[in-house]
Amino acid sequence: MKDTLTISHFHGPWSEESLQEGDGNTAVATKSYLEGAVYRRSHRVIVLSNAFGDLVTTHFGVDPDKVRLVPGSVNTRRFALNTPRSDSRAALDLPPDRPILVTVRRLVNRMGLSSLIDAMRYVVAAVPDVLLCIAGQGPLKQSLQAQTEMLGLMRNIRFLGFVAEEALPHLFYAADINVVPTIALEGFGLVAAEAMATGTPSMVTPVGGLPEVVGGLSHNLIFSSTKATDMAEDLIGALTGAIELPAREDCREYIESRFNSRLMAVRTAEVYRELIEHATA
């Protein structure tokens, strides 16, 4: 009897994420062994970005010929708001007349939120009315709030906590810039694409698959590095107009043409069809 055909969808290295969050060596090694065993025996491994394609081959020893790229996707209809942006701000109790940055992240180390808060010291000095809204929950909530208070940024940083799914499009739509400050292990960066589907440009760190999500539209959307000072410099440039960001309609059209959910379904089906045809040839 022929072996069962197996396709694995690689959305991130479980073991490396555990390492980032402080798990012990034994737990990390066990997770890595299990992951590698699953991926290496798969006939195809679907990855969200070229960056994660490189990771799955170098870290887990997967044959590059088995790897197929299927980028993440957005239900663009859900994020295609056309009401006044002021209505979304009002519904979320956000100020109508301040420049607003948004970041939607789990509050854990690899998301880079501490560096973003540090960057806000410089951003606020240049753009005093700016407001950063941090949406999400996680174990770093208290330490991030303490950092904000220590830096005297309570007027300029607001912790929103959990944001319901139905409110998320409005949060992105209300913002002037969506910020993705990840410092490690970002396979795609769905929030970058979701925000841009509402028309809000996403500025991202040059980590993992993030540059692949926004770089096809404008390299001005990619921070110089993950350093707080570099993020601050680029954000100041964007907020003051020294750095040109794509127009809102251009952001929407870009996501619709590259990352809408229909495309992901077609691309995924092609991988399964290709494997079946190869096996039965």
Give the domain range for residue 90.
Answer: 76-258
Q: Is residue 43 part of a domain?
A: yes
Q: Is residue 110 part of a domain?
A: yes
Q: Assess whether 23 and 135 both reside in one domain.
A: no
Beta strands in the chain (DSSP E): 7-10, 44-47, 67-69, 100-104, 131-135, 157-161, 177-180, 202-204
Mean pLDDT across 142-163: 98
Q: Is residue 1 part of a domain?
A: no
- Per the prediction, the chain carries an average pLDDT of 94
Task: Convert the pLDDT of each residue in 4-31 to its tens digit.
Answer: 899 999 988 877 777 676 677 787 788 8
Q: Assess whether 28 and 116 both reside in one domain.
A: no
Q: Is residue 141 part of a domain?
A: yes
Q: Is residue 21 part of a domain?
A: yes
Q: Assess whether 249 and 274 both reside in one domain.
A: no
Q: What is the pLDDT of residue 1?
A: 37
- Say which residues have a Cβ less than 8 Å from residue 271's Cβ, sequence separation at least 6: 7, 44, 46, 68, 70
Q: Rounded CA gap, 270 and 265, in Å? A: 9
CATH number for position 164: 3.40.50.2000
Q: Assess whether 62 and 158 both reside in one domain.
A: no
Q: Assess whether 125 and 202 both reside in one domain.
A: yes
Q: Assess whether 90 and 183 both reside in one domain.
A: yes
Q: Is residue 215 part of a domain?
A: yes
Q: Is residue 213 part of a domain?
A: yes
Mean pLDDT across 53-79: 95
Q: How many residues does the chain have?
A: 281
CA triplet 49, 51, 56: central angle to 5 degrees? 95
Q: Is residue 276 part of a domain?
A: yes
Q: Assess whether 162 and 269 both reside in one domain.
A: no
Mean pLDDT across 199-222: 97
Q: Assess whether 35 and 64 both reside in one domain.
A: yes
Q: Assess whether 58 and 133 both reside in one domain.
A: no
Q: Report if pTM > 0.85.
A: yes
Furthest CA-CA distance within the chain: 69
Domain count, the chain: 2
Q: Is the pLDDT of residue 118 over 90?
A: yes
Q: What is the pLDDT of residue 2?
A: 58
Q: What is the DSSP letter of 74?
A: B
